């Protein structure tokens, strides 16, 4: 990971989402539904909220550096 | 547990993906915090430099005004360049301070969200991983029971 941290974090979330998509093709029972609606939904929601906040802050930091150069 | 039609390999892959995600996002969070510290330090250094520059420009403008006050009316001293330089230095310093205030406010707001996310990575995700491990173990046990005797 060498890009902006928020972009790398988004990429990691996409990889995790892919893993869930793959697992959910095999794991189809009630436990899977409970897991998806509970643990997984909560994990995705919190991750997306954090990464969006991180992206905004990184944008602000980049803008601050640009605007105060020279 | 025998009613669970899950594929053990798929669940194991999911658990491993969660472990990788936890470590990777920990690193992301650390780099985010490093970036905030670096920009804050950079702005602080720029503000200090800006203060020095402003003091220098104001001193030069003051000295010019003194010369202008004592100058021959037929040969006036023009201090407008010094005045402009002092004004620009002041504007630049104000701009840096506004960014510092904005970043303090946004970083403070972000800290709550970051703290919750780190809590999820450090506390909730390991529990989810343990849950999947237990599920995999129970599926393996069920599979052994169902397997025909050799």
Would you list the domain boundaries of chain B? 8-143
Q: Is B2 exposed, middle or buried (0-12, 13-18, 19+ CB in 10 A)?
A: exposed
A3–chain B Cβ distance below 8 A for any pair: no
pLDDT value at residue B1: 43
Q: Give the B window 94-113 contacts with A, CB below 8 Å.
A: 95-96, 99, 102-103, 106-107, 109-110, 113
Task: Judge: B7–A20 Cβ closer than 8 Å, yes or no.
Answer: no
User: What is the token pair recorded at A62?
Assistant: 């980049």
SS3 content of chain B, % helix, strand, coil (to 5): 85, 0, 15
Separation between Cα atoms, residue A11 and residue A24, nearest integer Å? 20
3-class state of residue A28 by DSSP = coil
B144–chain A Cβ distance below 8 A for any pair: no
State the nearest Cα–Cα gap between B42 and chain A, in angstroms: 8
How much is the pTM? 0.88
% chain A with pLDDT above 70: 97
Give the pLDDT of chain B (150 residues) as one tens digit per residue. 444 555 788 899 999 999 999 999 999 999 999 999 999 999 999 999 999 999 999 999 999 999 999 999 999 999 999 999 999 999 999 999 999 999 999 999 999 999 999 999 999 999 999 999 999 998 888 888 876 656
Task: Judge: A12–B25 Cβ closer than 8 Å, yes or no.
Answer: yes
State the nearest Cα–Cα gap between B56 and chain A, in angstroms: 17
Region of B75 (left: φ > 0; alpha: ψ -120 to 50; beta: rest) is beta
**How many angstroms separate the Cα of B16 from the Cα of each of A41, B11, B12, B133?**
18, 9, 6, 10
Separation between Cα atoms, residue B42 and residue B54, nearest integer Å? 18
For residue A42, the chain B residues in CB contact (below 8 A) are: 124
Task: Judge: B99–A23 Cβ closer than 8 Å, yes or no.
Answer: no
CB contact burial A34-48 (16+ within 10 A = b; e otherwise): ebeeebbeebeebbe
């Amino acid at each position: 990971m060498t890009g902006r941290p928020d972009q790398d974090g988004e990429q990691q979330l996409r990889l995790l989402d892919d893993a869930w998509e793959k697992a959910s093709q095999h794991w189809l029972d009630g436990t899977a539904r409970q897991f998806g609606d509970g643990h997984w939904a909560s994990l995705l929601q919190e991750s997306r909220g954090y990464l969006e906040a991180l992206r905004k802050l990184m944008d602000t930091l980049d803008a601050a550096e640009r605007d105060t150069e020279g | 547990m025998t009613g669970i039609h899950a594929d053990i390999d798929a669940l194991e892959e999911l658990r491993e993906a969660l472990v990788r995600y936890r470590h990777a996002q920990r690193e992301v969070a650390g780099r985010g915090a490093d970036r905030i510290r670096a920009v804050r330090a950079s702005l602080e250094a720029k503000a200090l430099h800006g203060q020095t520059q402003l003091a220098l420009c104001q001193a030069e403008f003051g000295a010019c005004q003194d010369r202008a006050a004592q100058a021959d009316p037929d040969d006036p001293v023009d201090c407008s360049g010094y005045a402009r330089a002092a004004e620009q230095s002041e504007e630049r310093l104000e701009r840096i301070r506004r960014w510092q205030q904005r970043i303090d406010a946004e970083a403070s707001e972000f800290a709550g969200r970051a703290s919750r996310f780190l809590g999820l990575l450090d506390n909730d995700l390991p529990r989810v991983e343990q849950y999947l491990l237990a599920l995999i173990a129970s599926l393996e046990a069920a599979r052994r029971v169902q397997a025909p005797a050799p």
